[in-house]
A = this chain, B = another copy of it.
Amino acid sequence: MSDKLATQIEKIVRKAAGIEHGPVVLHEPFFNGNERQYVTDCIDTNWVSTVGKYVNLFEQLLSRVTGVKHCIATVNGTAALHICMILAGVQRDDEVLTQALTFVAAPNAISYCGAIPHFVDISPVSLGVCPDRLREYLQRIGEIREDSLFNRQTGRRIRSLLIMHTFGHPSHLDELKQICDEYKLILVEDAAEAIGSEYGRKHVGQHGLLSTLSFNGNKILTTGGGGAILTNDDEIARQARHLTTTGKVTHQWEYYHDCVAYNYRMPNLNAALGCAQLEKLSEVLTKKRLLASRYNSEFSKVDEITFFTEMPGVKSNYWLNAIILKKVSREQRNSLLDKLNDGGIMVRPAWNLSNTLPMYKSCPSDDLSVSLGIEESLINVPSSPSF
């Protein structure tokens, strides 16, 4: 069965990508603008490091694109998540609710604060945290004391809900924000994969007190390595800037630092690449959605496959297009992944669920049956904007 399916998938991918022979990569950067010019300009002007016009410009352009007041550029999305957790007030021995179907950076950022990831299930419609399931779960295990939410089972404070817009698909933001307000949780949006994605005609990243973006090489826009912290709160933005620049107090010549802080600022060289990339964002988003619609019409003809589409009321950037295999065992899926990759069609499953990784095995968790079902049956197919 998987031989025939592999052939079908290969045919659809090659047609959608317009690549008849040779390898089709999962997602590669798309450089057709001012990338060379801006990067060379950094070298010509000697401004390559963590101070320079492109870092500031990149932050301004990000604000314009996302509609979020403050954007702070960082070395990568993981660094951005770490700072968000700190500024959400996450402390040692706190718990942070998060989805198990996520990139490992999310639980890692929680654990950098000495806190404990607490895994909740996702919605099969958004692939993000399921608001109905979350509410039901919090009713069961949560208790509000001293204006904070506590886990009745562990006795620990639950400080924050860290959600992700999986593969660029916006989560149920209104409902999740409502739950956070009721349960005294700080909402943080991991929008690493979701630049250009909209919820109710607004760019994602506005419901959370803090949100993050990523500009890793596999993302829609890249800065080589890079990320950003987004927030509409002036004071939190000031703190984010301070914490990402070693906590140095501005002074003409003195080296005085007033807190334990981080060396997380994006270098100018990387921001230069990002500025050129941002200039092409709408072109890239159009290409991405066209590719998704080509995939959708072709995969809908295959009985064994559902092409994952955005839910009503949102607009996804379709970062990584995803298909769900119906009635296929994990072994069959693995065999499909082997065959396609061996044949030059780069495909991947979702991430292994975080609660199955050795370092997070003993973390608290709700029932994760939807996450598990998705993890076993979802495959990402090649999605480069250059197709």
Check if A168 is an interface residue, CB within 8 A of chain B: no
Complexed CA–CA distance, A72 and B263 (Å): 18
Q: A29-B46, A270-B267 are in contact. Are A357 and B39 (CB under 8 A)?
A: no
A111 touches B260 (CB 8 A): yes
Please name all residues of chain B whose beta carbon is closer than 8 Å to the beta carbon of A179 when the two chains form the complex: none
Cross-chain contact A263 with B78 (CB below 8 angstroms):
yes
- Of residues 222 through 248 on chain A, the ones whose CB sits less than 8 Å from some CB of chain B are 222-225, 246-248
Interface residue from B44, B49, B357 paired with A222 (Cβ < 8 Å): B49
A75 CB–B CB distance under 8 Å: yes
Of the candidates B104, B254, B337, the one whose C-beta lies within 8 Å of that of A257 is: B104
**Contact assessment for A263 and B48 in the assembled complex, using a CB-CB cutoff below 8 Å:** no
By the criterion CB–CB under 8 Å, are A43 and B49 in contact? Answer: no
Q: Interface segment, A57-65, A289-297, A319-327, A345-353?
A: A345-353
Residue on B nearest A25 in the bound complex, by CB: B46
Q: How many angstroms between the C-alpha atoms of A351 and B254 in the bound complex?
A: 7
Chain A residues 61-97 with CB under 8 Å of chain B are 75-79
A 7-23 binary contact with B (CB < 8 Å = 1; else 0)? 00000000000000000
Q: Would you call B267 and A225 a contact (CB within 8 A)?
A: yes
Q: How many residues of A contact B (CB 8 A)?
A: 69
**If the complex has contacts A31-B43, A46-B28, A105-B246, are A357 and B257 also in contact, measured as CB distance less than 8 A?**
yes
How far in angstroms is the closest Cβ of chain B from A325? 14
Residues on the B chain within 8 Å of A222, using CB:
48-49
Closest to A271 in B: B224
Q: Can you give 21 A-B contacts (C-beta < 8 A)?
A: A29-B48, A29-B49, A31-B43, A36-B40, A39-B39, A39-B269, A48-B273, A104-B246, A104-B248, A108-B262, A217-B267, A224-B270, A225-B265, A225-B267, A252-B337, A254-B349, A254-B352, A255-B351, A260-B359, A267-B270, A269-B270
Given A31-B43, A225-B266, A255-B349, output 15 extra A-B contacts at Cβ < 8 Å.
A36-B43, A40-B40, A51-B217, A75-B75, A78-B263, A108-B261, A224-B270, A253-B341, A254-B352, A255-B352, A256-B357, A258-B357, A259-B358, A269-B269, A270-B270
